[in-house]
Amino acid sequence: MKDKNKRVKFIIGCVLTGLVFIMMLSGIFYTPFDPMEMDPSTKLMGPTLSHIFGCDNFGRDIFSRVMVGVRETMLVAGSVVIIGTLVGTIVGTITGYYGGWLDEIIMRLNDAVLAFPSVLLALLIIGLLGGGRNPLILALGIAFVPSFARIVRGEVLRIRNLDFIQCVKLYGASDLRIIFVHILPNLKTVLLSSVLIGFNNAVLAEAGMSYLGMGVQPPNPSLGRMLSEAQAYIFSNPLNAIFPGIVIVMMILGFSLMAGGLEK
């Protein structure tokens, strides 16, 4: 019963994520309309057969913009998770393996940053660097490092004390060999689920930041910004805000179902 539940979860998650990916990938080669082209005649038009999601306040096709916007969101979220995982793994491995005062200092700092909400930290960094896509990636990347570092450190600490590491040490293996050959490969399972969860949080954070106007700059489409633009016309065109929002939900739900299905 339990296993079957997990399988169902995983499959639904794959389907949702797959749909978003298909939309994103086909958006690279083909969009029904030019996502940047403004057309006064279709301004604030509801969904029709040719414009299935309708058109926004500049008459741009929302479906085309969603296809391109998903790519932006994925790009930002992906880069953020890569930065977080890489730096987090390096920091976590060093502090977890060597311990000592360096570990003490870095982990104190880590906990302080971890207690700070990532959106607030990202806003602070953007206040320093200015808005836009690349500063946003950097800002969120920094904000995401501590959680990965903490997870990796805990796992390294656990593995380091296992018998087989002691055994390899007796054979005279160097620290580097132990870390790269014996410890890092064992982090796979832990990292996989935290990457999936981290990706979700990154999608949420990206959408939130671009909703606030701190992410991808106009006229480039991004899901968060489309929501905030559509909000001004919520009385006359409520559906404009619904479609980009549903795509965000599909992305997050898909990934969290997949992560839930993989859990042991």
Partner 1 sequence: MKYILKKISTLIVTLLIVSALVFFAFSFIPGNPAITKLGTQATPEAIENLMHEMGLDRPVVTRYFEWIGGILHGDFGISYSYNQSVTSLLKEKIVITMLLSVMAIILTVLISFPLGIYAARKSDSKLDVIITSVNQFIMSVPSFFSGIIITLIFGVALKVFSPGGFVSYKQSFIRCIGYLFFPSISIALPKIAMVVKLLRDTALKEADKDYVRTAYSRGNRTRAVFYKHVLKNACIPVITFLGMAFADIIAGSLIVEQVFSVPGLGRILLTSISGRDYPVVEAIILLLSVFVVVSNLIVDLLYKKFDPRIHV
To partner 1, the closest distance from the beta carbon of 204 in angstroms equals 5
Of residues 79 through 98, those in contact with partner 1 by CB under 8 A are none
Task: Please identify which residue in 179, 214, 226, 258 interacts with partner 1, judged by CB under 8 A.
Answer: 214
Determine, following the binding rule CB under 8 A, whether residue 252 of this chain makes contact with partner 1. yes
For partner 1, give the closer residue by CB, 47 or 260.
260
One-letter amino acid identity for 174? S
Instruction: Tell me which stretch binds partner 1 (CB under 8 A): 82-90, 95-103, 165-173, 253-261.
Output: 253-261
Place of tokens 């969290």: 256
Mark the segment that binds partner 1 (CB under 8 A) among 24-32, 45-53, 154-162, 254-262: 254-262
CB of 129 to partner 1, least distance (A): 8
Specify the stretch interacting with partner 1 by CB under 8 A; choose among 32-40, 51-59, 178-186, 238-246: 238-246
DSSP string, 140-199: HHHHHHHHHHHHHHHHHHHHHTSHHHHHHHHTT--HHHIIIIIIGGGGHHHHHHHHHHHH
Closest to partner 1 by CB, 124 or 157: 124
Residue 102-141 contact track with partner 1, rule CB under 8 A, x = bound: ----------x--xxxxxx--xx-xxx--x----------
Nearer to partner 1, 6 or 169 (CB): 6
Q: List C-alpha distances in Å: 183 to 25, 105, 117, 220, 260.
A: 36, 23, 31, 43, 25
Question: How many other CB atoms are found less than 10 A from the CB of residue 3?
Answer: 7
Sign of CA dihedral 106, 153, 83, 210: negative
Asked if residue 126 lies in contact with residue 205, where contact means CB atoms within 8 angstroms, the answer is no
Among 68, 156, 191, 241, binds partner 1 (CB under 8 A): 241
Residue 134 CB, shortest distance to partner 1, in Å, is 16
Neighbouring C-beta atoms of residue 254, cutoff 10 Å: 21
Indicate whether 176 belongs to the interface with partner 1 (CB under 8 A): no
Distance, in Å, from the CA atom of 76 to the CA atom of 83, rounded to the nearest integer, reads: 11
- In terms of phi and psi (left: phi > 0; alpha: psi -120 to 50; beta: otherwise), the region of 39 is beta
Residues 187-206 that bind partner 1 (CB under 8 A): 200, 204
Q: Does 232 bind partner 1 (CB under 8 A)?
A: no
Site residues, partner 1 (CB under 8 A): 112, 115-120, 123-124, 126-128, 131, 200, 204, 207-208, 211-214, 224, 227-228, 231, 234-235, 238, 241-242, 245, 248-249, 252-253, 256-257, 260
